[in-house]
């Protein structure tokens, strides 16, 4: 599961993949909505890892 934490790095650091205007969404060029979309996606991925790990002894 911890490998999920690497996905935001790949998705956001591989710039050529998203450096374009199209497809636009709600008036936002791809470059902008793609990066903004990674904010909730990253939260979700971290949450998935958080849920899957065994809780440690210290609270």
Partner 1 sequence: MSDQIDWVALAIFVFFFALVTVMGFFAARWKSGPVSAHLDEWGLGGRQFGTWITWFLVGGDFYTAYTVIAVPALVYAVGAYGFFALPYTVIVYPFVFAVMPLLWKVAHANGHVTAGDVVHGTYNSRGLELAVAITGMVATMPYIALQLIGMGVVIKAIGLTGEFPIIAAFIILALYTYSSGLRAPALIAFVKDIMIYIVVLVAVVVVPAKLGGYSAVFAAANDAFTAKGGATGLILKPSQMLPYATLALGSALAAFMYPHTLTGIFASKSADTIRKNAILLPAYTLLLGLIALLGYMAYAAKIAVATPNDVVPMLFKTLFPSWFAGFAFAAIAIGALVPAAVMSIGAANLFTRNVWKSYVDPGISHAGEAAVAKIASLVVKLGALTFILFLPTQYALDLQLLGGLWILQTFPALVFGLFTRWFRAEGLLLGWAAGILWGSWTAWSNGLKPLATLDLGGASYVFYVGLGALILNVAVAAVATVIVGLLSPRGATARS
Interaction between residue 47 and partner 1 (CB under 8 A): yes
Q: Is the dihedral of CA 28, 30, 33, 35 positive or negative?
A: negative
Is residue 16 a contact residue for partner 1 (CB under 8 A)? yes
Residue 13 engages partner 1 in binding (rule: CB under 8 A): yes
Interface with partner 1 (CB under 8 A): 2, 5-6, 8-9, 12-16, 19-21, 24, 26-29, 31-32, 35-36, 38-40, 42-43, 45-47, 49-50, 55-56, 58-59
């Amino acid at each position: 599961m911890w490998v999920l934490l690497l996905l935001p790095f790949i998705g956001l650091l591989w710039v050529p993949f998203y450096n374009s205007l199209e497809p636009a969404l709600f008036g936002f060029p791809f470059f902008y909505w793609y990066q903004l979309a990674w904010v909730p996606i990253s939260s979700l991925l971290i949450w998935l890892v958080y849920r899957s790990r065994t809780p440690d002894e210290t609270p």
